[in-house]
Structure 1
Amino acid sequence: MTENDFQLTAPAIVFPGMHQPESAYRVGYDLLERRAPKEALEIIEKALAEEAGATGNTGLRCLRAWAFMMRAQLQKAETELRDLVEASPDDVWARHALGRVLERQSRLEEALPHLRLAAVMSGDIEHELAMLRVERLLMTKADNG
């Protein structure tokens, strides 16, 4: 076995009191950062189901949308993100994520307004690049079609 063949596998994370929304958020976020959306969804879904009024927990719902995006469950992500954007139109992350989900579904005309708003609201270069990419794709489509 060479040095390049070595693979580090992190153990599962278990925290006491994980049923609390704050703990579920921390653990879910950590799992998503570690590219483990299936495991994150299990924790997030359980926390949303257990907590009274947790369906209004935008933090957990954003994590759920992120997990759906990572798993390419784009329709579920779109539904969650549309609800989040409707409830909070100034949520830059949800708006940008909705634009990206629509883009991944090749619904560029629908994606562009969300990406434009996110870019203007945030001033983030990554948001602007996403907007420019979709604008360019639409121009190419118009030139070829």
Structure 2
Amino acid sequence: MDLLEEYRRATVVFESGDPLGAARLLEPIVEAEPHNTAVRQLLARAYFNSAQLAGAETQLRALIERDPSDHYAHHVLGRTLERAGRFREALPHLRLAAAMKRHDDYEEALRRVEAWVGKNGGRAGPGAE
């Protein structure tokens, strides 16, 4: 299997709006190349976009373990935890991402989760899985 060609194919599939198809293509690549950050990040995004939140969390935690300064991985992990209704767990990751890099999406997610925690004490909310 040509891993680079499979990665390119998975990228096209992901960008065409098929995160499940992309994840199926990316899983064996991550298995073969576990330290490849770009592949693992795309797999995490594919899992997130297809609501496979446990898979996204696993991939993002692996990215952060390898590089704790990866602001994007912290942001997406925070968003994943938010989407799962785990607001208190999401906050540290969203705060780190916003502190490491000024980005409107990072700041918006942080404000949203801080507001939820402030109003609800971090309890799971609508759509929590």
* TM-score tier after normalising by the smaller chain length: 0.7 to 0.9
Residue of structure 2 in register with 1:4 after alignment: none
Distance 2:60 2:6 in 1: 19
Residue identity matched to 2:41: C
Shift of 1:42: 2.2
The runs of 5 or more residues in structure 2 that have no matched partner are 122-129
Q: Is the 8 A contact 1:25 1:59 kept in 2?
A: no
* Distance in 2, Cα, partners of 1:84 & 1:118: 14
- Letter in structure 1 aligned against 2:69: D
RMSD: 1.4
User: Highest relative contact order (Cα 8 Å, sep 6+), 1 or 2?
Assistant: 2
Residue in 2 that maps onto 1:35: 17
Higher CA-based Rg: 1
The residue number in structure 2 matching 1:121 is 100
- 1:25 maps to 7
TM-score normalized with structure 1 length: 0.77
- Report what 1:6 is aligned to: none
Identity of aligned residues (%): 40
> How many Å separate the matches in 2 of 1:27 and 1:122?
30
The aligned amino acid for 2:17 is R
Name the residue aligned to 2:124: none
In the TM superposition, what is the alpha-carbon distance from 1:92 to its structure 2 partner? 1.4
Q: Deviations over 1:86-106 (max 9, x none)?
A: 111111111111000110111
- Corresponding residue pairs, total: 121
Q: TM-score, normalised by structure 2?
A: 0.85
SS in 2 for 1:134: helix
